[in-house]
Amino acid sequence: MMRMVKYVFFLIVVLFISGCTTHQGNAQIPLTPISYISDEDNNMSTIMYYRAVDFSGALRFGNYTCFIDFDFHHDDKYEVQDIIMYADRNQYTVKKVTPGVHKFSLVNLFNGELSSITANIESNKTYFLAVTYNPFNPIPTLQFRTKKDFEDNAKDDKQVIVDGKCFPKLDGCHFKEVTSK
C-alpha cells in the first residue's frame, strides 16, 4: 500500500513539473507555431485569440486579456486597439499583425503579466492562440493550437473588438461584438 502511495505521489509531481516546463519561446529562440495559409492579406498575419475549454478550463471564470509586444513601463505610447486581444467563455478576438517575432503577454488587472509566449509570425498566415489551462498549475498560459481546436472550442462564440480607449487603466476597456455584413 505504501509503495502505491509513493508511486501516485511521484506521478503527480512529474505531471506538475511537465506542465510547468513548456518552452514558451523568447526573442533569441522564438517558437515557430503551426499556421494556416490565409487568403486575406499577403503582407499581414492573422491571430485568432480564444479561450480553450480544457479539463480545468471549464472550472475557470472571467476573461483574459492578451497584449502584443506591450511594454508595461511605457503604456502611454500605444493605441490600445492595435495591441490588445480579449477572450472569455463566449467571445474571441481577431487581430492583424505584421510578420516577425512578437511577444504575446497574458495579463490581468490585479496580477500584471501572468504568462507570455514569443513566436515568429509569418506573413499571409493565420494562427490560433488559446488561453489554456493545466489542472496542476493555477496560472493560465498561452498556447498556439490548430484550426480544428479553435473551431471546436469557439464554434458558438462571437467575435469582439475594442471599443474606445483602455488606458490609463485596463478596467476602462469596452468591447463590442462584430456584426457580419
* Domain 24-177 fold: Immunoglobulin-like (2.60.40)
Asked whether 38 and 46 are in contact (CB, 8 A), the reply is yes
| pLDDT greater at residue 9 or residue 42 | 42
Closest CA to 62 of 88, 93, 90, 92: 88
pLDDT of 61 strictly over 60: yes
**Location of C-alpha cell 508511486:** 7
Mean predicted confidence (pLDDT) in 40-52: 86
pLDDT of residue 107: 76
Provide the pairing of β-strand 158-162 with 137-145. Answer: unpaired
pLDDT of 38 strictly over 90: no
**Location of C-alpha cell 508595461:** 72
pLDDT of 25 strictly over 50: yes
pLDDT of residue 154: 86
pLDDT of residue 156: 86
The full set of domain ranges for the chain reads 24-177
Distance CA 104, CA 107 (A): 10
pLDDT of residue 19: 45
pLDDT of residue 163: 64
Range among 8-12, 31-35, 119-123, 140-144 with highest mean pLDDT value: 119-123
Asked whether 80 and 162 are in contact (CB, 8 A), the reply is yes
pLDDT of residue 124: 92
Q: What are phi and psi of 50, to 5 degrees?
A: -145, 170
Share of the chain above pLDDT 70, in %: 61
Mean predicted confidence (pLDDT) in 76-94: 72
